[in-house]
Amino acid sequence: MSKSVKRLKYYEFLNYNLIYNNKAINRYNRDNFELSEDKSKSLDLLKKSIINQKNCDLKKHAQNIVFSDGNPKSKIMVIGEAPGANEDQEGLPFVGRAGQLLDKMLSAINLDRKKVYISNIINYRPPENRRPTEAEIKRYLPFISKHIEIINPKILVLLGSTAMNALIGDEIVISKMRGKWIEKQFGSCKTSVIITFHPAFLMRQPAQKKLAWIDLKMIRDKKNNLKI
């Protein structure tokens, strides 16, 4: 890719907050990815186990489970925090304004939802879009850990401090951990983890997009090195 094309992608990414709109992205018409029977069965069982939880207040107040989007065969997995109102309505992650920015971030490094797999730490919307509590994160941690193991990505992208703290540790801060590769084991899955800012944060703090662009280029380079 020429330097001029790369620069264009970068500036499109930086200025994307000027062109998004409030309309949720409709992702019901998605491609059907042919999965192995084992992976398909494992994902179905995981989703059912989340749905069949007892005494989950989040589930009681939500409209839909928000399980995943994208390509379950992908070797790149992206994990955010929790669903918002649009996600709760459609039952898919990242379909509101933050989702539009995430799509732009992926596009900047020649990725899209057909080439990555997307989920969240929490599968049901917290009331008023609040941050999940420690108890809620602890409840859902076995589910997302199993989710990662089933997908078995070579690259795991964590969006924001909630995803980072849940899967990497509470004692670290995102400003010091973003832009670094961490080797992490989730069950039988050994993967390279990178942390970057959540799209919703970048919408509030657009100046931080310069740092997010560095992270995105690291993901692009790792993807190329791994021949994904």
pTM for the complete prediction? 0.88
As a whole number, mean pLDDT of residues 145-158 equals 98
Q: What is the pLDDT of residue 4?
A: 58
Task: Give the whole-angstrom CA distance, residue 101 versus residue 17.
Answer: 7
* Residues whose CB is less than 8 angstroms from the CB of residue 129 and which lie 6 or more positions away in sequence, other chains included: 84, 85
Q: What is the pLDDT of residue 17?
A: 47
Q: In the chain, pLDDT over 70 holds for what percent of residues?
A: 86
pLDDT digits (tens, 9 = 90+) for 17-63: 444 444 554 443 455 677 888 999 999 999 999 999 999 999 999 99
Q: What is the pLDDT of residue 27?
A: 45
As a whole number, mean pLDDT of residues 136-160 equals 98
Residue 130 scores a pLDDT above 70 = yes
What burial letters (b/e) apply to 14-27, b meaning 16+ CB within 10 Å? bebbeebeeebbeb
> Coil, strand, or helix at residue 78?
strand
Residue 199's pLDDT band, with cuts at 50, 70 and 90, is very high
Task: Give the whole-angstrom CA distance, residue 33 versus residue 29.
Answer: 12
Q: What is the pLDDT of residue 171?
A: 84
pLDDT digits (tens, 9 = 90+) for 54-102: 999 999 999 999 999 999 999 999 999 999 999 999 999 999 999 999 9
Residue 115 scores a pLDDT above 50 = yes
Domains and CATH numbers, the chain: 3-18+37-225 (3.40.470.10)
Task: Give the whole-angstrom CA distance, residue 117 versus residue 204.
Answer: 25
Radius of gyration of the chain (CA): 17
